[in-house]
Amino acid sequence: MSDRVCRVLLIEDNPNDVRLLRRALGKSRAAFELAVASDLAAGIDAVSTGSWDVVLSDLSLPDGHGLDAVRQLRSSAPDLPIIVLTGLDSDETALESLDHGAQDYLVKGNVTSDILER
């Protein structure tokens, strides 16, 4: 196991989902540093001013919804891995997310520390 810390930006407006993700990351064997932005504008600001290894972004945010949020993030951070995090378990939306620049698509109810570590 490496001593390297993975810097994660979570863009999520639901405090319960933030808590669940924080708990799952805490159970991981890897080391994570988690920062949270509660809307798309704050997330875009954070990716343009910070140094992140990965972004986990909800698809339903107060100021950005669906694939438009993925497109805006991708345009703001073309080289940063973006993982869509959503409650919607849809193969179609997952494929569309990947087509719009996301590296992966995770369903919130299925997220575990092992999945996040991957």
Instruction: Give 24-73 pLDDT, tens digit per residue.
Output: 998 888 889 999 999 999 999 999 988 999 999 998 899 988 888 889 99
What number is the average pLDDT over the span 91-116? Answer: 88
State both tokens at 20. 């669940």
pLDDT for 100 equals 86
Residues 6+ apart with CB under 8 A from 59: 65, 66, 67, 69, 70, 84, 85, 86, 88, 93, 97
Alpha-carbon distance of 102 to 2, in angstroms, equals: 26
Cβ–Cβ < 8 Å for 81, 54: yes
pLDDT for 52 equals 95
State both tokens at 16. 């319960």
List, in order of start, the domains of the chain with CATH numbers.
5-117 (3.40.50.2300)
pLDDT for 1 equals 46
State both tokens at 21. 């993700």
pTM of the entire structure?
0.90
Q: By C-alpha distance, which of 52, 67, 57, 77 is closest to 97? A: 67
